[in-house]
Amino acid sequence: MAKRPIERDDLLKLKFLGGPQVNPDGTKCIFHVRVIDSEKNKYFSHLWMLDLASKASSQFTFGEVVDGQATWSPDGKQITFMRSKDKKTQVWVMPSDGGEPRALTKLDEGGISSVAWSPDGMKLLFAFRPKHTDWTQDARKKREESGKSSPPRLITHLQYKMEGFGFADHRQHIWLCDAKTGDAHAITDGDYDDYSPAWASDGKRIAFLSNRSANPDDTPYAVDIWFISAQGGKSKKVETPLGYKGGLSFSPDGKWIAYAGQETKDDSWSPTHQRLWLLPAEGGKARCLTASLDRTIGNSTICDARDAAPGDDAPLWSSDSSELYFSVSDEGNVHLYCVSVKDAKAAPVALTEGSLDITAYSGDPRSGAFVMLIANPTHTAELYTASMKAKSPLKLEQATEFNCPLHEKLNLSEPEEIWVESSEGTKVQGWLLKPQNFKVDKKYPLLFYIHGGPHGQYGNSFFHELQWHAARGYLVLYTNPRGSRGYSEEYTTAIRGDWGNRDYQDLIAALDHVSKRPYVDKKRMGVAGGSYGGYMTNWMLGHNDRFACAVTDRSVVNMQSMFATCDFAFMPDGYWPGNPWSKPEKLRQQSPLSHISGAKAPVLIIHSEGDLRCPIEQAEQLFIALKRLNQEVVFVRYPGETNHGLSRGGPPDLRLDRLQRIADWLDKYLKP
């Protein structure tokens, strides 16, 4: 059967796998699969079970629900998971050999995370942030029925809103739940947020993260590890290097705590490497295990075809507590690594190789069973198995084929990897997607995509939007300029507080390199990007006249107003020098709005009213400025139920609408 080009609506056919968790005896793996119901215009997610020996998968939960974050009981007989239905979320439990699931908790409306079984299987641990009673669904409904107005909010903290969650009217604390009855209560309290709880190996203590400094608003980086008895009581701080932390994980022998951490005093988007740290569980000096590896740990890859942006996965211990497994972002890839805990001089070792993106992993240290969720540029993520006892590189065996029937029909573009030299002798990595049936003697329009972050990376993961534009006859160029993760810390920190300088030079170097090729039509080039990529698109408009059109998505245009409207409240003289009230010069100079009078290309502005990361006032300022300058501009303003992640997890119909509007805009100016 002849393969066809990928289409816009193929997005609706993709299945997004996530949350793999291997059971305690290493024979099975629970995971979830998220699908799009185009008729109901909703996402539904269900649990599936993978038999690791036969590689057979079977669906485990059903219905119009969103199930995920599954965890095994220590004896492997039960599974807990998060279920969201009608916008309400609870912890559910069911037998691991099948049966009817039941709601375990009866919590108020709010956000639940980091569910973990106690070592004896008697209790569950999680973090919970309740929603203010004024803003629950029931309260809203009662106001509508009675005709009453919405009440005001009382705001006293800088960090009062969070992208993807909304307004944080209540603090998040650590809760314990009886695994049989579902009775739950908080074991921490106070005017601060507690998160990422983890059981000590003996079940007597709980570790968690919290910023309890004198003024967390002024020192957001002052995150510490705290201990509390499993019975509750007073919390005790553990001395660790100053900086953001995540992914707490106790060793099986109870002697150590591993965690991911940054040594920094920066704002929340610190460009310093996230490294793997080891801390004695009974107190002592923390030791960095990845100091010799000049890469950040965790997955930094940006794409639009996975269940969700991966978080800071806790490192995985070997059964004898001698080694740790973790992921590393490296030159557009995400690989699995291992490091010795006992040998202080041991360097981390890569266990995988090639062009791939590991978005999640799990394993059973005793049996050696390992499961990874892996994507590549021409295939969405599927589960792969390997043995933790094998030598590097691990032999990977594909275990699921959820998206294979679709991919087998598609003629996708294999990216050409390029490296170019920029200023100061910097080597910059990029990729070029070519249209299907590409001919070297034909001229093609070029679309230059710029990633967000800025401290993320484009890479070897499947990206529906980019593949679709290539299928529509475009050359698609995407790169990792300085500021991107996946490279040295010097490379990532090179643009700290100085956007539009070295990063701009790197982007132009890549564009110059590719545009010299005979098949690139220099008169038909467009630029597009979202978030920081939108910032750089706006910057390009004011500093370069080679583009025939531009698409700026969820962008930043004014650093002075962004200082106080972003959900990451800026620190004066933090990541950015100065402040808007007494030292605004640097912020103004770094704002694309200050240079927008040089814009000549027609601009499509895309923004969501519910965006708390880059508030819509940024788009409003750009639109008014371009209109006053008599430039051609269209502003597409998506409704409040969409947010910063519209292109990755927004309502399906609006994701398609966004894609079509971009395509129509590009075709208007770049097609012959």
Q: What is the pLDDT of residues 149-198, one digit of tens each?
A: 999 999 999 889 999 888 988 999 999 999 999 999 999 999 999 999 99
Q: Is residue 68 assigned to a domain? A: no
Q: Is residue 366 assigned to a domain? A: no
- Is pLDDT at 311 greater than 80 in this prediction? no
Q: Is residue 198 assigned to a domain? A: no
Global pTM? 0.96
Active site residues: 531, 644
Contact between 613 and 532 under an 8 Å Cβ cutoff? The reply is no
Mean pLDDT of 409-431: 98
> Which of residues 314 and 181 earns the better pLDDT score?
181
Q: Is residue 602 assigned to a domain? A: yes
Q: Which helix (H) or strand (E) holds 163?
A: none
Residue 604's CATH number: 3.40.50.1820
Mean pLDDT of 649-664: 98
**Helix, strand or coil, per DSSP, at residue 75:** coil
Q: Report the candidate in 217, 243, 263, 304 with the shortest Cα–Cα distance to residue 531.
A: 304
Q: What is the mean pLDDT of the chain?
A: 95
CA distance 104 to 557: 47
Q: Which structure tokens are listed for 438?
A: 């590409």
State residue 307's pLDDT score.
65
Q: 405-423 b/e with 16+ CB inside 10 Å = b?
A: eebeebebbebeeeebebe
Split into its structural domains, the chain has a count of 1
Q: Is residue 186 assigned to a domain? A: no
Q: Is residue 269 assigned to a domain? A: no
Mean pLDDT of 330-346: 94
CA distance 428 to 445: 22
State residue 268's pLDDT score.
84
Q: Is residue 231 assigned to a domain? A: no
CA distances in angstroms from 114 to 197, 327, 439, listed in the order given: 7, 19, 51
Geometric angle at alpha carbon 238, from 237 and 243, rounded to 5° = 100
Structural domain for 522, as ranges: 413-670
CA distance 15 to 43: 10
- Among 1-10, 300-309, 364-373, 607-616, the range scoring the smallest mean pLDDT is 300-309
Query: What secondary structure letter does DSSP report for 114?
Result: E
CA distance 524 to 547: 7
Residue 308 pLDDT grade (very low, low, confident, very high; cuts 50, 70, 90): low
CA distance 101 to 98: 9
Contact between 534 and 558 under an 8 Å Cβ cutoff? The reply is no
Q: 15-30 b/e with 16+ CB inside 10 Å = b?
A: bbbbbbbbbbebebbb
444-450 and 427-433 beta bridge pairing? unpaired
State residue 260's pLDDT score.
97
Q: Is residue 452 assigned to a domain? A: yes
